[in-house]
């Protein structure tokens, strides 16, 4: 994703029943979490992200990205434009379930600055944070992606925040990947 041109209104959420090839995306940061029987790969891909949870030969992948990207169509279980508030729930077979809540929040400038700064401070204590200084105008707030997670025995929880200071907009997702017993 070309982060210099993406706007909050461009973002879509996709759910795939398979992993996606890493070469499809520019990776700004990569992380792996191992938990008991499964592992999760998290990629920060500009003002978007990819989360793949895998157990054995089964995977579910959440992608938040611009639809302008060249994306695979095979294996799409769910997709929607991120606008306002949306909830998604999907049984993915074999005991796998996916739940997501997304919100695109447009704020007035003082509130946005306060929320932006609070998230930056919180991210210094936990989770993964990547800022895009090259996109910030002189003296302005910096766009960023912040991802926090919780790995449980049968669930992987992800909280993602994508900050768009020019638009005073924060895109938030909360996702739960549930795996079979």
Concatenate the DSSP letters of all residues of 84-127 into one string: SEEEEEEEEETTEEEEEEEEEEE--HHHHHHHHHHHHHHHTTSS
Question: CB neighbours of 132 closer than 8 A, spacing ≥ 6?
Answer: 3, 46, 47, 142, 143, 144
Compute the distance between CA of residue 68 and CA of residue 104 in angstroms, rounded to an integer: 19
SS3 73: coil
* H or E segment and range at residue 158: strand 155-164
What global pTM score does this model have?
0.94
d(CA 181, CA 176): 15
Residue 60: the pLDDT is: 98
The first and second tokens of residue 53, run together, are 């949870």
Per-residue pLDDT of the chain (181 residues; tens, 9 = 90+): 556 667 898 899 999 999 999 999 999 999 999 999 999 999 999 899 999 999 999 999 999 998 766 788 999 999 999 999 999 999 999 999 999 999 999 999 999 999 999 999 999 999 999 999 887 777 789 999 999 999 999 999 999 999 999 999 999 999 999 999 8
């Amino acid at each position: 994703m070309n982060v210099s041109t993406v706007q909050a209104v461009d973002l879509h959420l996709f759910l795939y029943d398979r992993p996606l090839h890493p070469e499809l995306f520019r990776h700004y940061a990569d992380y792996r979490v191992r938990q008991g029987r499964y592992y999760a790969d998290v990629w920060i891909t500009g003002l978007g992200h990819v989360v793949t949870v895998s157990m054995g030969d089964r995977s579910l992948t959440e992608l938040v990205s611009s639809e302008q990207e060249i994306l695979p169509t095979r294996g799409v279980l769910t997709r929607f434009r991120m606008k306002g508030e949306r909830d998604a729930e999907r049984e993915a077979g074999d005991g796998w379930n996916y739940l997501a809540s997304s919100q695109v929040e447009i704020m007035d400038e003082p509130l946005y600055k306060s929320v932006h700064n609070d998230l930056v401070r919180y991210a210094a204590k936990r989770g993964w944070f990547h800022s895009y200084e090259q996109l910030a105008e002189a003296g302005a707030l910096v766009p960023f992606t912040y991802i926090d997670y919780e790995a449980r025995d049968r669930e992987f929880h992800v909280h993602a925040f994508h900050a768009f200071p020019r638009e005073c907009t924060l895109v938030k997702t909360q996702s739960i990947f549930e795996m079979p017993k």
